[in-house]
Structure 1
């Protein structure tokens, strides 16, 4: 057959077309972006949209405090969030490192390893729930998981609406969400915290109406709890061992109206500075705890 016959020309066109398709197919199947992060809120959000980082920080404590989404064993632990192992991170060769304003101090060194992108949920004047949604969508766009990020936002809203309906018809009392610093002091989460934002979305009142700074107040004395005697007390771990012992023997603690009436809810571990997964975890744990309360305040 001549090299210039119609059949030969068709064969050549087919070869060229096949090569082009193969090239385009290869572009679509480009290797996944190798990401790393030193921020837990970003880590949980990445995992929730189906992105497994090559490295993250302080994973032993993450598994105790954040809990979910679970971290695959393939994720390398690069040490403490406050003092990450830069050499180990360099050897892992990430394409991008995601950080937040909480780790801004580390950016100069991180930038020597890979491009750094800062995505912050918690900042003065920024509603944390809206910030968490924005960060989820930004991470989705950056990692090619746009649809998964949009689904995370939609599913979180939908689940919170479902839990709100489940909580409707409660006793109407406000909730005081606190974390014990020691046997005599606590921190309270205000309306501008993630916990406060979730309470609002669940249709629940936050008993603490004084100002906080997008997180929790500085430690204050337990006597302040007497000012919100009609509220539920929601304890967020960890509870220091000495505090646990002293509270059990504390006449003042036992005399608090909420404690005396059995209106104390102890939740499992949650990250107060988490993203959408932490917000949803708090909502589910709180709803489950309230569902187990018998009339009169006692737990079942």
Structure 2
């Protein structure tokens, strides 16, 4: 895992033809909402003030968490980075047909973005150097933080609120927060009913290079770790001495030997996708892995839960966690 332009051009040409005719009937055929309301000025993650003519309607997103925010808020983006990857890794948000692929998440196609007549482009700071400045030559850019290990859930909702302000969907943002809080409360109640609250959980993903497996622990400062904490679980990774986590996403790095430092009563949960399952494949005959007391019962959570996503993805994770623990 790696932190149709021609159709869009044809649509733009048709829209230009209709506008040139200047008749009421033809203008009504364009069902794209126009700007309404007063200009909006907001401050993005750079500390930059960004002014929009009104709520952004035609938008694009380079990062999948932002794409999920938009769809959850009821705003279908017209441009998304790596649509095939998004639809594999994030099943919490469904894209409409006809969305244009704008390239990779780290390096979107400036030319493609320029054909989409966008009101705004939402990005994180993970773009290649100079990309933001190039996009800003034609379209307002709003930079959204990728995460914050000090308060991952709080940062997630600050992100949602920023996108909601830009798109005029603040009411829906408040509903999303209420749905999230309700899901956490329901999850805690379900775990209590099952006598499964308070378990010690180690959640990770992993990737392999040849036969070598690198394990990525999700610490307490990760979004997943924070949700686990809200559900009442103890994070097993916090008991591993010397394990460090990054300040943005709360992720660490270790190898199979590093798993020997986990408590014996750990419930080991992990994430894969499709054939990407290092624990169930590469490590199946690894002597260190198979000797661990929790290896035989290690649980792979369902595919398509984007662990760096938004509230909709985290609702999927809550359901998966309750099911795994019960």
Partner of 2:224: 195
* SS across alignment from 1:235: strand
How many residue pairs align between the two structures? 263
Partner of 1:286: 321
* SS across alignment from 1:61: helix
Quick one: distance in 2 between partners of 1:116 and 1:31?
Answer: 14
Residue pair 1:36, 1:55 contacting (<8 A) in 2 also: yes
Quick one: distance in 2 between partners of 1:286 and 1:71?
Answer: 26
Residue pair 1:176, 1:231 contacting (<8 A) in 2 also: yes
Quick one: distance in 1 between partners of 2:325 and 2:102?
Answer: 38
Partner of 2:201: 175
**Is the counterpart of residue 116 in structure 1 residue 116 in structure 2?**
no
**Is the counterpart of residue 255 in structure 1 residue 279 in structure 2?**
no
Runs of 4+ in 1 over 6 A off after TM superposition: none
Gaps of at least 5 residues in structure 2 are 1-34, 38-53
Partner of 1:227: 261
Residue pair 1:35, 1:95 contacting (<8 A) in 2 also: yes
Gaps of at least 5 residues in structure 1 are 1-25, 292-300
Structure 1 residue 83, shift from structure 2 partner: 2.3
Residue pair 1:226, 1:257 contacting (<8 A) in 2 also: no
Partner of 1:10: none
Structure 1 residue 98, shift from structure 2 partner: 1.1
Structure 1 residue 136, shift from structure 2 partner: 1.1
Quick one: distance in 2 between partners of 1:242 and 1:170?
Answer: 27
* Residues 1:184 and 1:34: Cα distance change in structure 2 (over 3 Å): closer
Quick one: distance in 2 between partners of 1:199 and 1:241?
Answer: 22
State the TM-score, normalized to the length of structure 2.
Answer: 0.74
More helix by share: 1
Partner of 1:34: 58
Structure ID, larger Rg: 1
Quick one: distance in 2 between partners of 1:31 and 1:142?
Answer: 6
**Is the counterpart of residue 57 in structure 1 residue 81 in structure 2?**
yes
